[in-house]
Structure 1
């Protein structure tokens, strides 16, 4: 690679928090030949207490081993060693010679302190494994596992009669139809129903029944094919001593717990993109390579395992449900592991407890973060790392790139968000392909494209995308691979449509957001060469906030202030829009204010001084709870971003519905609304309890109504009925 140490040092010196120490000597081939230099650096930082950063990832394993063997070097558990890939991400390629600004940005970001630790979720497995599937396949798989695990077999889903089941009782074997399978690693609950006349647990595998059956209805899986059986019952006679065959036995329900499950049936128990951890499926056991991979993983899943608790859920912000009415279901719909379920019917059991919301099962969550991306209110937040840490990382990248002169030399930065797994491998493959002997005419990752590795690409959404643009990025791209579930792709596409609508509406030209789905390296190479889009003239300096809506407001305010074409209103797509207004049908609305009590975000409020419905548009998350709660079906959602008066109007309360007050027929005090009282009188006029004087009381205020009731003691009141 071409490396300019003075340029890197100068760029890092201008970046807050970045260090230039160690840049005096540039190692152009940071591999095994530099082992001595690494050990000297490890020893020096061990003495000084500084952190050590290696600007290459190829020999990370070797360097970590050398660190442990170097006297005076700090242990990795005490002071981690950071590795950053400068080579494949830009040093190798057509723009390698002009990529110093990018390298400075990557080095600066790698020097950031580690994110705050998060709580963990613990799995405990004793190695109890259930293999489900056809007899022969299940027995073969069980034989590969039994030396490491406590294996049981559940014969289910058919079997080949010519292939015998194991003759010896080497393990617990049952037969039946699975009726329920739920749980996760260390805690699977399996229910099945056995209805076949032969009990495999009692059967001695003597084959007498197979030989005696005149119809050949009993296979070597020791199960009776009831469609072929003509009830000769010769099998029962020859099995008299063992007593394993009983045609009069009622189907028996079984329930047992297991730590691990290997499912070899043609139709697996879980159809979602990401099954629970500890569950492995090889449909039909036809893929030998997949079966081998599953067996190897299962053999290692005994003991105690931890993973981060990836999410943080704030119930009071959730717009899913109120008063047993359902509004936003975005997180439930997008979750590919089915880890989120509705709790709309839950009622508060203690004082101050809110009803409704969702329940997230941390043992099923795998940390995609898509729930936080689609959540309009910020009730669901990704915590690994959190928004504050992730925002600091993106701002550091963009700031360092700008200070190093990147925008002037290479154009405004584009952020390329990719996964730490398949996405990183694809980018590294592109970098290596530019050096391949065979000429592929590939240019590699451009100098203005800053790769950002994420635990999962769906974990970063609208708030940080718009913040990146406000802080000087030209584009935000998300690289998709086979890791992303279909739900994530659709959710990201919808959120990007919203983000693009905001920028286009404000007059920023070009395409700022894109999902990159490259079938091969040439396609990826071409996708990364898109021209820059219009960005802000002055980059924002604010930091991302812990609350999603707060970060969005900061981004919108800055983008509006820098907008090439300020407008009062930006229409937004209906799918995924987190902003909008309400349209109230004045002919239907009775101003009952049911919507006020249903709104979880304090976007709706009444007016104690007059019959009015007031609305703060900034708070509305378009969850729809007001519309589903309204008894008159008078409310319609309208997605938009309202920016009148420089964006101030959407932050102030305004009246969206009002009505003429009803005046008490006795004291003339206003109460209720004309429409509400008239509707009540109309609906109750036919009731026996509201005739004569009683119906007149409906026209009175509460004080006059009580006085009137007790002024006529002989009158039959509704409480007497």
Structure 2
């Protein structure tokens, strides 16, 4: 591939005066000595090749005087399939410089980890013969138990492991902590059965097979089996249906339908069904799953920012709906907010992407690190002369493999273009971990487009959430007058979709900002969004006062109040988790700061008069300043005490209260009049009439 060492040096240096980089064409073989000399220097090492990663690590280990990778990590970046192998490789220098610059950034700060401990106790669930066969493949590494789920097949004559039979009632948990419950109603108890085969010989209907279970549809109740099994006592037709439970570290499910139906099942659970290939893959993984394991805790949660619930009322539940691992549950009835089970979390980040308030944040890497990477890439690309950059967000797994396939195809097939020079691949743990705040920040940094590559890894919930977020981003950008569809979702399952992906990557660029921003993304999602919006508005080709946004996924909007219904009870103020709604201690007012509203709907569900509706929009009047200031949604004259004249409520609220209580026996005559008094005057009035019968005396 063509490489320009002089141009790369200029792009990667701060002042553009660095000496030309030496170019190596076979660094991993004939020129390996150059790598070894660099390794001995002790300087930071970045190898622009991922295919020979293992070889370079071995070379470093074998080079005398080279620090080990534990003291000086070696980073790797792919510039070949993603840039050098394409039809416009000669123009790819700005992109290669951007990829190299991003790879040189410091590693994110470490985060807390989540631990698992597996003792190797594995349960295999399924038909007798299939379960027994799988057990023989695992028994030398794991402690295997069988749960036979249906009659038929055969168990071996020798009893070499624990075997149970029954129907699964419940399976929950994760690696090292699965809890399995099953229901057993067959007359033969496999724990007591000695497999002597006497019952098989005695049964006149042949209702008992070598699975040592009674086929109750074939059995005619001769009970000869009970007689021959008297010593063992394993057969009892009077036995009631029983539930049993055990804890296991690992689960291999051979049933046709998986016991966990979510897109991302818990770690330590494998469903193979009757698929031989999936079985072998599961067996290979299970054999290595004894011991202690850990993973990063991918998320941070701040309950005080959470807009899920208040006072047992539910508002936003976007994170619960999008989680494909079912790791998030509502705590509305137990103090409010949500709970994320870290052992079930797979780190997709979809919950953090759809969270409108920033209560859930992706932690590894966080938005500060991700934003720094995007800004570095785009600044380096622009400094090297690149234009109209398109960021291509893809997963480190399937997404990276598809891009590598595309690059290799471009090298051998003239009809394939390859990854264009303006397309900058951005590898992430999962595509759902980057959303609206970082997309808009990238556009503000100068990207013309942000594309997200979806593969079979993405759950349907992720696709819907990303599509909703993309619709909001495009509505904002197009509303501001920027031409084009800036945020797009691209689909590619495998090599069969390479031609369509190749064409999609050559789309015409959207309109970028005239002057790129230089702000740093913040840990707070709303703060990052405000920084991006302020810059995009300042650079907007067509500034507007208001942009209508899609209802699904909008983190911006207004609250509309039906003043004919509203009594200014201020229940909505108490329910609002973001201080978007507020009262006025000096006057009966309901005030609203639109910038703070996350459209969670808690005010709408809390309002006893059904006077509130949500309006998804981005209000930009007065250059965006108006949405940051409090405005009055509803105001009424105060109701004044009929005894002292002090204001203590609103006219409508007092009228509603009197109307509802006027027919009540306890509120007649003077008692009804006291409802029109302030709290102090009510007390004075009650004790001014000592002969009056009060409700407290009854």
The interval holding the TM-score normalised by the smaller chain is over 0.9
User: Which range is displaced more, 657-666 or 184-193?
Assistant: 657-666
Residue in 2 aligned with 1:328?
316
Structure 2 distance, partners of 1:15, 1:30, is 28
Structure 1 distance, partners of 2:679, 2:168, is 62
Secondary structure at the aligned position of 2:321 is classed as helix
Secondary structure at the aligned position of 1:478 is classed as strand
Correspondence 1:206-217 to 2 at 5 A: 206-217=196-207
Offset of residue 234 of structure 1: 1.1
Structure 1 distance, partners of 2:35, 2:102, is 21
Structure 2 distance, partners of 1:319, 1:469, is 28
Structure 2 distance, partners of 1:506, 1:28, is 47
Residue in 2 aligned with 1:353?
none
Residue in 2 aligned with 1:298?
286
Residue in 2 aligned with 1:351?
none
Among candidates 123, 126, 130, match of residue 123 of structure 2: 130
Structure 1 distance, partners of 2:204, 2:394, is 63
Residue in 2 aligned with 1:35?
32
**8 Å CA contact retained: 2:322, 2:462:** yes
Residue in 1 aligned with 2:7?
7
Residue in 1 aligned with 2:357?
377
Secondary structure at the aligned position of 2:411 is classed as coil
User: Which range is displaced more, 7-16 or 559-568?
Assistant: 7-16
1:505 aligns with 2:479: yes
Structure 2 distance, partners of 1:15, 1:576, is 43
1:60 aligns with 2:48: no
Structure 2 distance, partners of 1:106, 1:606, is 51
Correspondence 1:28-107 to 2 at 5 A: 28-44=25-41, 46=42, 50-107=43-100
Structure 2 distance, partners of 1:168, 1:673, is 84
Residue in 1 aligned with 2:299?
311
Residue in 1 aligned with 2:330?
342
Two-structure CA RMSD over aligned residues (Å): 1.2
* Cα-to-partner distance string for 1:545-592 (whole Å, 9 max, x where unaligned): 000000000000000000000000000000000000011111111100
Secondary structure at the aligned position of 2:59 is classed as helix
**8 Å CA contact retained: 1:15, 1:403:** no
Correspondence 1:234-273 to 2 at 5 A: 234-273=224-263
Structure 2 distance, partners of 1:464, 1:14, is 25
User: Which range is displaced more, 169-178 or 227-236?
Assistant: 227-236
**8 Å CA contact retained: 1:32, 1:59:** no
Residue in 2 aligned with 1:649?
626
Offset of residue 20 of structure 1: 5.8
TM-score, with length taken from structure 1: 0.95
Judged with a 3 Å threshold, the aligned counterparts in structure 2 of structure 1 residues 462 and 65 are, in CA distance, closer, same or farther, namely same
User: Which range is displaced more, 233-242 or 307-316?
Assistant: 233-242
**8 Å CA contact retained: 1:599, 1:626:** yes
Judged with a 3 Å threshold, the aligned counterparts in structure 2 of structure 1 residues 88 and 30 are, in CA distance, closer, same or farther, namely farther
Structure 2 distance, partners of 1:167, 1:268, is 29
Runs of 4+ in 1 over 3 A off after TM superposition: none
1:535 aligns with 2:512: yes
Structure 2 distance, partners of 1:276, 1:586, is 50
Residue in 1 aligned with 2:396?
420
Structure 2 distance, partners of 1:140, 1:446, is 50
Offset of residue 666 of structure 1: 1.2
Secondary structure at the aligned position of 1:33 is classed as coil
Judged with a 3 Å threshold, the aligned counterparts in structure 2 of structure 1 residues 525 and 236 are, in CA distance, closer, same or farther, namely same
Among candidates 429, 452, 464, match of residue 405 of structure 2: 429
Unaligned runs of 5+ in 2: none
* Cα-to-partner distance string for 1:380-402 (whole Å, 9 max, x where unaligned): 00011000000000000000001
Correspondence 1:162-177 to 2 at 5 A: 163-177=153-167
Unaligned runs of 5+ in 1: 348-355
Residue in 2 aligned with 1:441?
415
Among candidates 644, 647, 654, match of residue 670 of structure 1: 647
Residue in 2 aligned with 1:116?
109
Offset of residue 720 of structure 1: 2.1
Secondary structure at the aligned position of 2:37 is classed as helix
Structure 2 distance, partners of 1:680, 1:213, is 79
User: Which range is displaced more, 208-217 or 381-390?
Assistant: 208-217
**8 Å CA contact retained: 1:372, 1:378:** yes
Aligned length: 695
* Cα-to-partner distance string for 1:415-453 (whole Å, 9 max, x where unaligned): 0000001100100111111112xx350111110100000
Residue in 1 aligned with 2:277?
289
Residue in 1 aligned with 2:383?
403
Correspondence 1:173-192 to 2 at 5 A: 173-192=163-182
Secondary structure at the aligned position of 2:100 is classed as helix
Structure 2 distance, partners of 1:212, 1:267, is 35
Offset of residue 502 of structure 1: 0.2
Secondary structure at the aligned position of 2:418 is classed as coil
Among candidates 367, 382, 387, match of residue 387 of structure 1: 367
**8 Å CA contact retained: 2:262, 2:324:** yes
**8 Å CA contact retained: 2:658, 2:675:** yes
